[in-house]
A and B are shown apart, each in its own frame.
Chain A
């Protein structure tokens, strides 16, 4: 039976095939709207700043992708960030050495305080280790204790803030307790691009390679799509879930240190409520909450969408009473992005049905 296979594609079929295109469209639209109101927004410097400002969120969203791939969720990342930043901060404070250095500034000899402490790489490893440990607890309770992810991580959120409080003895770590290298960690530039962006690129590339080309990474997709089928194929689903949470924890530890270095302050309630932004970034980026689908590029674009919204709204020069609309606009945009994603998905299913050769 010879049949003309070419059904006319609707105009939006390109967007359906490459879902990230739709997101890029949304981002471009947002940028265009803000740029028309305020031309200062559309500069290379500002665009780079948005990427830099959203880098930590993108890193966290990459970790959250792993967790959501296996059908789990983690709402304790703010607690993990606080604890790991606090532990690293305290270790840094304990080993702080202040030396006086004479430097020549503008031809004048000036005495400066140079602060040095534990090498940066150790601090990062400690932070990621503490975070990974928290993730291990989360994962073990979820995978081996059969407790639902939301309940576990909700409880862990409370617990981690409490432990941070106890560890820190209710004292924050300030800039004076930080070594120069640590403060420079998120301020350094390489090839004119901020180090936060470079860290983001590095982490996301590692996660992308892991999730796309490694067997353990592919297992996560399998576990999230159909856990029973995955187990019958011999995949240890519990190990996958545990590993996803450990990755999330380690990534959150790194993110916590980046926030600490950026804000030059570690308080015991570091970034409360940030988990919701990260989850929103993931969902906008096309990650399914039930597990099994989602990609690193989508997550990156999802985070960037939120970054453009967050950075663009102040640039709209909303003054007076319009200032108070920001929160509403933020929520509405998230809802619109998520809902349009679903509508696109539905169109995709419809199109696939139409293309069947019956």
Chain B
């Protein structure tokens, strides 16, 4: 029974989809769609959005939603660029630290607003802070772009690879985060408390969990992760504009949902997010090579998103109905 439950887990569906996608595309385009190319493309499709997806998962587990992450990322890297270019002697590390602080503060503001105004849906709050944060970035940068970062930032962090020039450094940075998150979310008390808060906030509150504090901290952490994602995005693109990362918030949420998170809260898994990221990378890379068309790409992501969430529900319903019929038959006897 336990083994059956283990194999019925959500993650196996994602594994199957990854294998299927990989087999399909490498069959269709042998030599073009290879594992090493895929590893290289993780820089584009996986790393920067990966940090934001982890943050989105945290917020979704709480039962909230945050659509301001892309704006937080934009504001953080804007401040990073402006600080670094402000004077001669400013070390780049200081600018990066400042960016991380800005991201955390933005997330903190979101969290405090969400906790203080419980009547408002977090989507509305983050909708307005989304405009505000990007508006601040717009005020700072105007419609110019800023760049001129130190060489190591782009060359090593953005394009550098290790292990015989195969694995991007960015990817290792992202992957290093997953074990930490896995242990924290699934094997420590504080991680389980987050799930408890998301499942039933009233019960958790009455059980003595400090739900408000958890929420504020997680929103701040989400802001920090967004800033990290923004920094990696900047490392890859090399310059900052106020429009940087537009639309990433929806991608992050889509990946978190694919990874098993539910917008109703209390559900989500770190491994699921990792697998969803890998699946997206396989799919996006293949579709981009095959069609070179972002609309087709988005179309298939949309179909995948709905299908993956819809199918288990339908399967559950059929199972329920079958059980019901079974019950009726046995009572009739």
User: Which chain A residues have a beta carbon within 8 Å of chain B's beta carbons?
Assistant: 73, 141, 145-148, 150-152, 154-166, 268, 276, 279-280, 283, 288-290, 321, 324-332, 334-335, 338-339, 342, 345-346
Contact = CB atoms under 8 A, between A and B. Distances in A.
B295 A161 contact: yes
Nearest to A327: B135
A280 B128 CA distance: 8
A328 B134 CA distance: 8
A151 B263 contact: yes
A335 B129 contact: yes
B263 A148 contact: yes
Interface string B292-316: 0101101111110110011001100
A140 to B, nearest CB: 10
Interface of B: 65, 117, 119-121, 123-125, 127-132, 134-136, 138-139, 142-143, 250, 253-254, 257, 262-264, 293, 295-296, 298-303, 305-306, 309-310, 313-314, 317
A325 B253 contact: no
Contact of A327 (B134, B303, B317): B134
Given A280-B124, A289-B123, A151 B305 contact: yes
Contacts, number: 141
Contact of A165 (B127, B130, B299): B299
Select the residue from A155, A163, A334, A346 with max chain B CB neighbours within 10 A. Answer: A155
A327 B299 contact: no
Given A73-B123, A147-B310, A147-B313, 6 more contacts: A158-B302, A162-B299, A276-B127, A279-B123, A331-B134, A335-B132
Q: Most B CB atoms within 10 A — which of A162, A163, A279, A334?
A: A162
A339 B131 CA distance: 16
8 contacts: A146-B317, A147-B309, A148-B309, A154-B254, A156-B306, A159-B299, A268-B295, A289-B123
Contacts of B131: 327-328, 330-331, 334
5 A-B pairs closest in CB distance:
A162-B299, A331-B131, A158-B302, A328-B135, A327-B135
Given A159-B303, A331-B129, A324 B298 contact: no
Contact of B296 (A154, A160, A162): A162
A259 to B, nearest CB: 19
A332 B250 CA distance: 22
B250 A154 contact: yes
